[in-house]
Amino acid sequence: MRPFFEIAEPECRLYNADVLAADMVAPESVDLIVTSPPYNVEVVYGTHKDNLSYAEYLEFCALWLQRCYLWLKPDGRFCLNIPLDKNRGGQQSVGADLTTLAKQIGFQYHSTIVWNEGNISRRTAWGSWLSASAPYVIAPVELIVVLYKHEWKKSSGTRQSDITQEEFIEWTNGLWTFNGESKKRVGHPAPFPLELPKRCIKLFSYVGDLVLDPFAGSGTTLLAAVMHNRRSIGIEIEPTYCELARERILEYLRTRQYALQIYEEREPYGELVSTTTENYRTAGEGVFPESSE
Ligand SMILES: C[S@@+](CC[C@H](N)C(=O)[O-])C[C@H]1O[C@@H](n2cnc3c(N)ncnc32)[C@H](O)[C@@H]1O
């Protein structure tokens, strides 16, 4: 299958495909999966129906979790961003249930990061207001469940980490506090903020590792991977989100190229090494750095 778009350096490919049918990821090839699947909370995505019964939802999750397990290297890691629980359409312990499901499929459990979403406003339902009759309790947090395939200690990869001392100290504390992303700003109904995949990628992978997001959405994980020199593959079922992901990544590359040109113009001898800010071609389905000839 041809990618919806790809860039060559760092290698990044996005496929417009159903994760359950995708055949472009080689078994045991992925170092790190960072993903946020549909939560089954009636979000309007387009192709995907986000209003399954809870039993059907767990069946769907079992199928894609099995594929993720197959794709991971023996020392591969999995950062699974899911809700703690679900209130819409009946209370459910989604975090606990998906963690149990992943363990049944074969994943080993490492830890759970609690993401405290500063700007979330979920106080729409109080249940029985000021009464013990049936009040609702809602925690404004999500989880990032950290799993791995066989070995937690990484033995493959470049062994090159790019995390700073401050980041390591702060991020190994499993309570992460940063704002959620605006749907309107990104143009996707349920994006996560760049900070989430950035932290997972820098904390759990080496430079040059292969990162996969099987529910790529607006391409946030791919963007973080490109920014931090990891190779990446995304799978997304909805073509309009693939287009959005392409635009976001190209915009970043254009800006980076622009910054690079300014830097080069300031070189001591004033020599302009790069002569164009548009170093990536977007025609057709491929996006490769243009030849310097
Ligand atoms: C929670 S969103 C992911 C958002 C993403 N993290 C971002 O920052 O934009 C889940 C995504 O999964 C996609 N999706 C749903 N079912 C899918 C399937 N079977 N295969 C691939 N993608 C699917 C939806 O279209 C949606 O974009």
pLDDT in tens, 187-206: 999 999 999 999 999 999 99
Q: Is 215 in the pocket of ligand 1 (CB under 6 A)?
A: yes
Q: Please report where in the chains the tokens 């020599």 appear, as a residue.
A: 271
State if residue 264 touches ligand 1 by the CB under 6 angstroms criterion. no
Q: Helix 94-105 vs helix 54-71: angle between axes, to the nearest 10 degrees?
A: 40
216-243 tens-digit pLDDT: 999 999 999 999 999 999 999 999 999 9
The verdict on the CB of residue 235 being under 6 Å from ligand 1 is yes
- DSSP β-bridge partners for residue 11: 8
Q: What is the CATH number of the domain that holds 201?
A: 3.40.50.150
- What is the domain range of residue 134? 5-280
Q: Which atom of ligand 1 is nearest to the CA of 35?
A: 6
Nearest CA to ligand 1 atom 17: 237
* 291 assigned to some structural domain: no
User: Would the CB of 33 count as within 6 Å of ligand 1?
Assistant: no
Assigned domain for 66 exists: yes
Burial class (CB in 10 A: 0-12, 13-18, 19+), 219: buried
CA distances from 34 to 53, 125, 156, 205 (A): 25, 31, 18, 11
292 belongs to a structural domain? no
Q: Is the minimum distance from the CB of 125 to ligand 1 under 6 angstroms? A: no
Within-domain flag for 132: yes
Q: Do the domain assignments include residue 40?
A: yes
Ligand 1 touching residue 220 (CB < 6 A): yes
Task: Tell me, yes or no, whether 288 lies in a domain.
Answer: no
Count: domains in the chain: 1
Is residue 234 one of the residues assigned to a domain?
yes
Alpha carbon of 219 to ligand 1 centroid (Å): 10
Q: What is the mean pLDDT of each run of 10 residues along the chain (293 residues)?
A: 94 97 97 96 81 93 98 98 88 96 98 88 77 91 98 97 98 97 94 98 98 98 98 97 97 88 68 40 42 38
pTM: 0.90
